[in-house]
Amino acid sequence: MVIENNKLADIYDLAKQRDPHKPEFHQALSELLISLQPVIEKNPELCTRDILERLIEPERLIQFRVAWRDRNCETRVNRGYRVQFNSAIGPYKGGLRFHPSVNSSVIKFLGFEQTFKNSLTGLPLGSAKGGSDFSPRGKTDDEIMSFCQSFMSELFRHIGASTDIPAGDIGVGNREIGYLYGEYCRLMNISEGTMTGKGVFAGGSMMRTEATGYGLCYFAEEMLTRLRNTSLKDKKVVVSGSGNVAIYAIEKAQEFGAKVLTASDSGGYIIDEEGIDLPLLKQIKEKERLRIKEYVVRKPSAVYYEGCEGIWSVPCDVVMPCATQNEINKQDMEILLRNGAIALLEGSNMSCTYDAVKMISQEDILYVPSKAANAGGVAVSGLEMSQNAGHIFWSRDRVDKMLQDIMRNIFDNCMKASEEYGHAGNLLMGANIAGYIKVAKAMKWQGVI
């Protein structure tokens, strides 16, 4: 995987010159540019008027101070971010991440990726991302509330139901959305669904909690059926993470008849050869908010390993990384391939390092990049926006059906683009090309802005 086209290579150099300290952004950009080589050759008009140069530059990047008080009344200061990346096809939309690793490079790569993911959903959604280097882990409820209120006391100026609609991501679940949205409504004296992922009792959509993990499995099922004449049934699946995406990927994979062997958190991972006991996992992670090692205390037949490195050496058919970026490197990929994995779908954003993606693209394993595989979450957020705008509420079955249709359409569009541009069946190329073309057409149509 090398950027051969001179124009695309120049764009990559420009981005590196402008932002020399943003490695995650460079990685996401290079993966996109390599896929765009056939587009620039076949449809050069989709790269005129500096569309690419404009596309890699966020429309707005906001950084702000978040001061709050902890349980001892000590003042704490964190950094808040919101990148409003691209509004060519709709209002800015993307999650908020609270994690100590958050910095402007992480936020910029996430916002950039969101542009193509949101385009792939087929919904009119522009892109954004935000968050803070605040860690919710070990904090009391009151501390979380205090932080969220302070964070929103700046963010509220920049968002709105038709402008920018944040949602959750790592460290921002239903509890944090509640505190953030409550503060937004208080400050604005308005209740108009400016955030998604809300409780269903407060304008949230059915199925938003499950959407990313379920969508991942709907994509997997469609792909395995259509490209390998098989399904998730009886497959051994390795899942990382034990947060929102992981838990609902495990739930749907099990419903499809797969045996899920693993789950993890940043401390370590568990292997349960009998298949993950989902009610137990939910009790530990969702209700009691404990560490994953508690699982083996309550189910001694499972095994716990300190550290996350070894999880990819567990033999499996299907791989679903659902924790964080760059969690699979080249060495992990070698092991997965040696052990005979047939498919890898990225539940987490940019789960694989550049070298791992390079290796996978030369092998006969089905690989789905996050912008396609985990788009179910933002898609149902889009459906939540529609319900809020129309002051209506759709049933779980209706939203589930729409999610399935959206994931099937994403698969179809990725396949179609991969065929049209000479890389039939390469879903990495297909996702990048299909995601790009829609945004590029909109930017061209709107002129230089």
Instruction: Give the residues lining the site for ligand NDP (CB under 6 A).
Output: 168-171, 173, 212, 241-246, 265-267, 308, 322-324, 347-349, 374, 377
Instruction: Look at residues 87, 114, 11, 25 and name the one whose alpha carbon lies nearest to residue 53.
Output: 11
Q: Name residue 9's beta-bridge partners.
A: none
Rounded Cα gap, residues 373 and 355, in angstroms = 20
Write down the least CB distance from residue 391 to ligand NDP, Å. 24
Q: Between 316 and 323, whose beta carbon lies closer to ligand NDP?
A: 323
**Smallest separation (angstroms) from ligand NDP to the CB of 437:** 22
The number of C-alpha atoms within 13 Å of 197 and in the hemisphere containing its C-beta is: 28
Beta carbon nearer to ligand NDP, 67 or 303:
303
Nearest to 25 by CA among 34, 33, 16: 16
Please give the order of strands across the beta sheet that includes 75-86. 60-69, 75-86, 127-132, 92-98, 164-167
**Which H helix or E strand runs over 147?**
helix 141-155
Strands 236-239 and 127-132: unpaired
Q: Closer to ligand NDP at the Cβ: 12 or 354?
A: 354
User: Containing H/E element for 358?
Assistant: helix 354-360
- In DSSP terms, 188 is beta-bridged to none
Residues 212 and 244 sit within 8 Å (Cβ to Cβ): yes
Show which residues are catalytic. Answer: 129
Cβ proximity to ligand NDP: between 97 and 423 the closer is 97
Minimal distance, residue 240 CB to ligand NDP, in Å? 7
User: Which residue is at the shortest CB distance from ligand NDP?
Assistant: 243
Nearer to ligand NDP (CB atom), residue 137 or residue 186: 137
The pair of structure tokens assigned to 94 is 């993307």
- CA R_g for the chain: 21
CA atoms within 13 A on the CB side of 384: 30
**Who's near 133: CB < 8 A, 6+ residues apart?**
78, 79, 99, 100, 101, 102, 103
Closest contact distance (angstroms) between CB of 374 and ligand NDP is 4
- Cβ of residue 189: shortest distance to ligand NDP, in angstroms? 29
Closest to ligand NDP by CB, 32 or 379? 379
Looking at the Cβ atoms of 39 and 238, the one nearer to ligand NDP is 238
Q: How far is the CB of 263 from ligand NDP (least distance, A)?
A: 8
Q: Is the distance from CB of 217 to CB of 235 less than 8 angstroms?
A: no
Min separation Cβ 134 and ligand NDP, Å: 13
Strands, sheet with 262-265, edge to edge from the N-terminal-most edge strand: 262-265, 268-271, 303-306
- Using alpha carbons only, give the angle 25, 42, 14 rounded to the nearest 5 degrees: 30
